[in-house]
Structure 1
Amino acid sequence: MSVVRSLVLFLLAALAEIGGAWLVWQGWRESRGLWWVAAGVIALGCYGFVATFQPDPNFGRILAAYGGVFVAGSLAWGVVVDGFRPDRWDVAGALICLVGVAVIMYAPRG
């Protein structure tokens, strides 16, 4: 159950961080206004709290593994929200990152 919980938390963290960064981008770079920027800052703050609910107590391990989730999630966000078309190297890189997440977080430790 803790693996499922951890994966759900990684997904929530990705939504908060990538969504927050996208909102800031839209507000500032696409001139949608400071309300978008403010919403992005709030979402980014939520990301910081979501990570604290991970079952593993090691900050470095959580953030290192989350880096792989961020890479894959960013590409997925681009596909869904911005119409980005990743090439095979983007997909290969994301898969490599997700394998890294699995090794870092879920490998048996003795």
Structure 2
Amino acid sequence: MTIFIYIGAALAEIAGCFAFWAWLRMDKSPLWLVPGVASLCLFAWLLTLVDAEHAGRAYAAYGGIYIISSVMWLWLAEGARPDRWDIIGACVCLGGAALILFGPRS
């Protein structure tokens, strides 16, 4: 279930941040901020659903999912195909996130 929460959180965060990007960098209407703020609130709420003992660990592990999702956004939403360095870097980060979240604890 954790992976689905992280994916939902990543999509909500990227969409919310993109709304601000569109307003400030693409000269879109300030009305873009309304769904942007709602999306960022959804992102924050979703992260509270992760079954982790400490918030910092949940956030750190989420970082890997966020990076993968951002590379996918780059490709699917912005039409820029990721290069091999994007993909390799994202995989390294995802491996680190898995270690943080699922590593054995004493």
Give me the TM-score of the superposition, normalised by structure 1. Answer: 0.90
In structure 2, the gaps of 5 or more residues are: none
Alignment partner of 1:60 is 2:56: yes
Question: Given the alignment, which residue of 78, 85, 90 partners 1:89?
Answer: 85
Partner of 1:40: 36
Partner of 1:108, secondary structure, is: coil
Contact 1:24 1:38 in 2 (8 A): no
Q: Deviations over 1:45-93 (max 9, x none)?
A: 1111110000113111011111111111111111010001111111000
Q: Partners of 2:62 and 2:4 in 1: how far apart? A: 12
CA distance in 2, matches of 1:46, 1:93: 27
Number of residue pairs aligned between Structure 1 and Structure 2:
106
- Trace 1:7-86 onto structure 2 (pairs within 5 A): 7-86=3-82
- Secondary structure of 1:45's partner? helix
Q: Which runs of 5+ in 1 are unaligned?
A: none
Q: Say what the alpha-carbon RMSD is for the aligned residues.
A: 1.1
